[in-house]
Amino acid sequence: MNEKYDVIIVGTGVAGCFSALHLPRDKKILMITKAKLEESDSFLAQGGICVLKDENDYDSFFEDTMRAGHYENRKESVDIMIRSSREVIRELIDYGVEFNQEHGIYQYTREGAHSTNRIMFHEDITGKEITQKLLAQVKKCDNITIEEETTMIDILEKDGECFGVLIRTRDHELLPVQSPYVIWACGGIGGIYEHSTNFPHLTGDALVIALRHGIQLKNVNYVQIHPTTLYSKRKGRSFLISESVRGEGARLYNKDGERFVNELLPRDVVTKAIYQQMELDHTPHVWLSLDSIQNIDVRKRFPNIYQRCLEEGYDIT
């Protein structure tokens, strides 16, 4: 690691990698990550990415997204997300990412809040497929240096301008590294919750640094709570049961085997319903049954979930 770079990117998940790959090749770039490269939330994403399948779907896609965001979304951002989705998918495919196909045609699954199937996926490990392919591209670039187990402690600031990052190296040394551009691609704050699917080192460090330096933050109260993880007495990170399992038709049941919510409502609504049901039933979990899934071999569609559940004593077939 040198003392000066053209750009420093904090984070090596999809955001960090995608940024790095879009910068000019003549720029000297440093990418740092708090943990190992495989330990970003990007590796954990299961379900997939929503995409504008065709122009006719725009209005419905926009409305679904606004509804899921309680109409507090920034409309311009929703528009950018939808309009750029096909281009992003095309680029990912160019980088070697494989999405599920049947007879040479891309498949689309459904997730909560979406009124139609518009999610592209790779089995039930979409995030791993995307992130490892992006990282492979990043590693080919001579202009990019990656440092693992290297933590941003603070930014360097003078007269209201950021000119680098204060880093703690893997040997626990503090090192100021200068750069006119710093990109924060540090992920979320899920690691601070007692029960979370996220890596525990993702503790929202950039938010704290932002507060310390008077950088304005927006919508920090919006934390996405995913409705379904595998109930387990094992310690550590919770295992996600992808939204697409419900999207393909799985049903939620209370202790008496009765359905209590439409499983495809927005995530916050389903989460709340599950929580209320557990309180009502005095149970530490509800049940998810894949019995209602038709015409799909769940072992092929969700191989990772199938395997993990089996390890914990549940045969999802």
Ligand X SMILES: Cc1cc2nc3c(=O)[nH]c(=O)nc-3n(C[C@H](O)[C@H](O)[C@H](O)COP(=O)(O)OP(=O)(O)OC[C@H]3O[C@@H](n4cnc5c(N)ncnc54)[C@H](O)[C@@H]3O)c2cc1C
Indicate which residues carry an active-site annotation: 267
The answer to whether residue 227 forms part of the interface with ligand X (CB under 6 A) is no
DSSP tag of 192: G
The answer to whether residue 40 forms part of the interface with ligand X (CB under 6 A) is yes
The answer to whether residue 34 forms part of the interface with ligand X (CB under 6 A) is yes
- What part of residues 45-64 is at the interface with ligand X (CB under 6 A)? 45-49
Closest to ligand X by CB, 49 vs 273, is: 49
Closest to ligand X by CB, 186 vs 270, is: 186
- Looking at the chain, the number of H-run helices and the number of E-run strands are 9, 13
∠ CA(202), CA(205), CA(207), 5° rounding? 115
- What part of residues 248-287 is at the interface with ligand X (CB under 6 A)? none
Site map 191..220 versus ligand X, x via CB under 6 A: ------xx---x--x---------------
Listed ranges 10-18, 97-105, 263-271, 303-311: which one lies at the site for ligand X (CB under 6 A): 10-18
Cβ burial 88-111 (10 Å sphere, 16+ → b, else e):
ebeebeebebebbeeeeeeebbbb
DSSP tag of 161: E
Report which secondary-structure segment, H or E, holds 227.
Answer: none
Q: How far is the CB of 280 from ligand X (least distance, A)?
A: 27
| Tokens found for residue 218 | 């927006």
Q: In this structure, how many other beta carbons lie within 10 angstroms of the beta carbon of residue 119?
A: 21
The answer to whether residue 11 forms part of the interface with ligand X (CB under 6 A) is yes
Q: How far is the CB of 24 from ligand X (least distance, A)?
A: 21
- What part of residues 137-176 is at the interface with ligand X (CB under 6 A)? 151-152
The answer to whether residue 65 forms part of the interface with ligand X (CB under 6 A) is no
Candidates 172, 183, 195; CA nearest to 275 is 195
Q: How far is the CB of 47 from ligand X (least distance, A)?
A: 3
Strands (E), the chain: 7-10, 29-32, 49-50, 101-102, 105-106, 119-120, 144-147, 151-158, 161-168, 174-178, 181-184, 251-253, 287-289
Q: How far is the CB of 240 from ligand X (least distance, A)?
A: 4
By DSSP bridging, strand 7-10 and strand 181-184 are parallel
Closest to ligand X by CB, 66 vs 260, is: 66
Q: Is 279 helix (H, G, I), strand (E, B) or coil?
A: helix
Q: Residues 8, 16, 182, 288: which binds ligand X (CB under 6 A)?
A: 16
Estimate to the nearest angstrom the gap between the alpha carbon of 120 and the chain centroid.
14
The answer to whether residue 112 forms part of the interface with ligand X (CB under 6 A) is no
Listed ranges 29-37, 213-221, 245-253, 286-294: which one lies at the site for ligand X (CB under 6 A): 29-37
Q: How far is the CB of 11 from ligand X (least distance, A)?
A: 3
By the 8 A CB rule, do 158 and 166 touch? no
The answer to whether residue 14 forms part of the interface with ligand X (CB under 6 A) is yes
Closest to ligand X by CB, 45 vs 290, is: 45
Closest to ligand X by CB, 34 vs 293, is: 34
- Amino acid at the residue 16: G
Residues near ligand X (CB under 6 A): 10-16, 32-35, 40-42, 44-49, 126-127, 151-152, 185-187, 197-198, 202, 205, 240
